[in-house]
Structure 1
């Protein structure tokens, strides 16, 4: 039957043979096409299953002070990871591996079992290369290493609030590390490797893309001045039992921030027991009523109006002034007429208020706004606050008076020192900078030069005249400044906290050619007094004295040579 059917239908047999031949031909053609002509297809699929790209970390840029001293450097570290599936087959080596990693064996074993189905788990990050190699030498299956970088801060807590820190992935999280993260970070590279189906490395093929290191960043900070300011502020907080404090020093010509310190502070190299409050850069973030440190600015507005001269007097008797429901009082209890310099020396609220009533609150507001109060400083620092400078359509007496002697507005320590820098720079306001400036900017004339120079002389008398703030004096130099004592506003309610003050001092020097401006803010001193002239002025004097000498600025308050020779010849010059 079969032979008969084949003979009857030969075309069916031939059709089957033809189809089989076509199928074989198609397969052969496809093999030739994939192996010889279109080779990229198989290669791409093979690579997708075996070729991997491992990131090459980029070296983060070096951060230095203005003189090249390192403030933040990146050091190579080893990160160990494991393939959880592979590690399950080496349970006998877990105790030795846990000991090498410095981890508790039972907790380590539990973590590995919980990651049994995962192909990636961190074992430990940030080991030194030597520590990482000791672990790898154990030859535990499934344990691998990644090369990374860790940030180290040589100055530690001294520069913590300015420099900031990075996280475990080397990304900026605070301070200048965050503000300039893109500049410092660089671009990671890629390394091409071959891995088997279990993820094990077979061959290191090539570097597909080289890592591009981050750029270096030179800050305006002078590390010598930073250490000096840090030490003196810390000592003041201990001496007066204060809660916190800030100090900012700037170059009045270039606007560069030479030192910025806060207390309490923290060690960015070891943040295990870090308190969140210690991370705040109070000089940039904390706002406060500046008190009597605003009187020189109000006085500048009076002099600029042309209605007042330094020799004009104001009767401050009996040391108090009633305005509606409010009574303005003078702590100094001056009884007679005071000229404008006397009002600053005695820090008379009554005298300043009467001058303010004459010139109006609008003129004081305009002057404060011109010197930068209530505005962004342009530093670009993360979290910086601008404070508050109130403006009113109708300036009532109470609002005018309080603004004139530093209440009803809020500023930061940086804004305060920036305003005094404009006075020191003959009325010219230059933009602030936290990075080194090679060419000083021209700035903007915000106060007439003659008025600024008059105020410089008046503030010099505030420090040097009898009854002045003599604790701010600097041996060998003439300096100028004004103290302030401000009550602390209550948090969450109106009014002020009982027996809670901020002690302030802001000034500049030397008077022959002002170069440095300093502002000191000490929060809630509780022992030995709380007045700015008692608590903050000595810090200003010590820091200014050290800074002027470190910067090799020529003294302008030395006795004449003849007087020195006479003292030596008469034996009053002291022992040699």
Structure 2
């Protein structure tokens, strides 16, 4: 007979197997729910939790009176998840989005077709009203993230000085870049729990770190005077056919920059359309040979050394040999007996060389350094350059003469304005200031510290140079076009050969005028420079009228009255 196996044995083996398997499951369950429960709980939370950035609001930039030059307003960043936009509705969605965002339908349609990604940025800096309208249009998977955008209410007013902000929110040039950390503040963040569809899960916990908004910056710029300076120099650039022009207005007593204008200027609301060369603040960064405006430094060195006085008499021909070159005055003339004052008023290169020879190259070099040549001016003006001041030991034979009248040395407009601020301020140089102050966390205005002061020449020397500069604007001077009715004006013309770096040679001219008023109680310095003019080239012809326009506007705007005094009689010619 066939005997069957014992069913008890098979059952026992099955039970043992099932017990083994269940023990594995039980052990795994104990591990997951007991020993490793915190690990899995944290992993699940990480899948649900997402960190959202809370952008900080960028601080404003204002002029000295609080008028906004750069301001931040609320905006939206509009994006879409293409995987959730069904093909049948893409064309309609693209049309709606394109019409509201100001983009082409083709561009939007291409982004909606990118089903290989769950995120496509459609537009930045969208007006919140427009974003709300789009969300109400029920475009699938559309989202609008709160951001900020930068606006420049004054357009191109002081454009290169202020600078602009890029798509990443960082400053790109000017004050926006130089003070980016202060303006930007610190972004906050928020951790929230979301479901598979990306929507926040109600009643779940969240962690929030509040953003710290940026601080506001107040400039020393006066909006109205800046506008007048920019208008005047831009018009003269057009009339003279110049490549560019610059005007700087500076307070004599504080060295605060009231206007820093370039023509043409950068429109900050359309900076993307401008070439990179238009981003440069020429007033602080462009380097040029100053020409005769530099003669005041030669005069200062000679007067301080007591080698000459304003009444020292020179026999001045119209040319002079210096090493291997013959250097000439701007206009041919017979040998003439001139006082040093007359030589300055008529901007004689030869007379200036004669005075420079009395002090030598080393003392002239030291005076140039004392006035700030060859070093950055400080004071926080973004992009300010140091210019070029070769050591006197390396001057060529002819350069030892040409430096005295402003050729063979290079400066910026800001540096040259600072020279005349020093003379007008009784010989005390103050670091130029562009920032009046900032706001602290509570919104309280904190004034910027005053600029560093350094005595460069004596009060007596400064006054003597002032009388010489006043003569330069008088009837016998080259700066007659800078005279202002009712006011005493001191200043100097400059006409220099212009070095063209692209051509590698001297080509064209730099025409300039710089001065201050009232001459007997100086309040404001104004400098005007025109680069490579083609319709005329003398500083007295082109730059002096710009000085007059801007100074006239500025003294009226600042309500600076005439002093009521008249220039004292001075000896202009030998024998008087």
Tell me if TM exceeds 0.5. yes
Q: Distance in 1 between the 2:538 and 2:196 partners? A: 74
1:450 is aligned to 2:460: yes
Q: How many residues get paired? A: 550
Relative to 1, partners in 2 of residues 1:76 and 1:229: Cα closer, same or farther, differing over 3 Å?
A: same
Q: Distance in 1 between the 2:192 and 2:394 partners? A: 74
Q: Distance in 2 between the 1:467 and 1:24 partners? A: 105
Q: Distance in 1 between the 2:263 and 2:395 partners? A: 38
Match of 1:539 in 2: 546
Relative to 1, partners in 2 of residues 1:358 and 1:116: Cα closer, same or farther, differing over 3 Å?
A: same
| Equivalent pair of 1:253/1:440 in contact (CA under 8 Å) | no
Match of 1:469 in 2: 479
Q: Distance in 2 between the 1:80 and 1:137 partners? A: 13
Q: 3-state SS of the aligned residue for 2:496?
A: strand
| Equivalent pair of 2:159/2:268 in contact (CA under 8 Å) | yes
Match of 2:573 in 1: none
Match of 1:496 in 2: 506
C-alpha displacement at 1:207, in angstroms?
5.7
Unpaired segments ≥5 residues, structure 1 = 561-576
Relative to 1, partners in 2 of residues 1:189 and 1:137: Cα closer, same or farther, differing over 3 Å?
A: same
Deviates more, 1:405-414 or 1:79-88: 79-88
Select which of 51, 54, 78 maps to 1:80.
78
Q: Distance in 2 between the 1:223 and 1:190 partners? A: 37
Q: Distance in 2 between the 1:201 and 1:28 partners? A: 30
Match of 2:128 in 1: 129
Match of 1:358 in 2: 358
Match of 1:429 in 2: 429
* 1:367-416 CA distance string (max 9 Å, x none): 01111011111244454321101113265541211100100011110011
Q: Distance in 2 between the 1:371 and 1:475 partners? A: 31
Scaled by the length of structure 1, what TM-score is found? 0.89
Unpaired segments ≥5 residues, structure 2 = 438-446, 568-576
Q: Distance in 2 between the 1:78 and 1:264 partners? A: 33
C-alpha displacement at 1:179, in angstroms?
0.4
Q: Distance in 2 between the 1:507 and 1:134 partners? A: 57
Q: Distance in 2 between the 1:394 and 1:358 partners? A: 19
1:556 is aligned to 2:563: yes
Match of 1:377 in 2: 377
* 1:314-343 CA distance string (max 9 Å, x none): 1112x1112343111112434311111111
1:530 is aligned to 2:537: yes
Q: Distance in 2 between the 1:494 and 1:93 partners? A: 59
C-alpha displacement at 1:348, in angstroms?
0.7
Q: Distance in 2 between the 1:478 and 1:129 partners? A: 55
Match of 1:520 in 2: 528
Relative to 1, partners in 2 of residues 1:154 and 1:4: Cα closer, same or farther, differing over 3 Å?
A: closer
| Equivalent pair of 1:376/1:386 in contact (CA under 8 Å) | yes
Q: Distance in 2 between the 1:121 and 1:159 partners? A: 36
Scaled by the length of structure 2, what TM-score is found? 0.89
Q: Distance in 2 between the 1:99 and 1:229 partners? A: 41
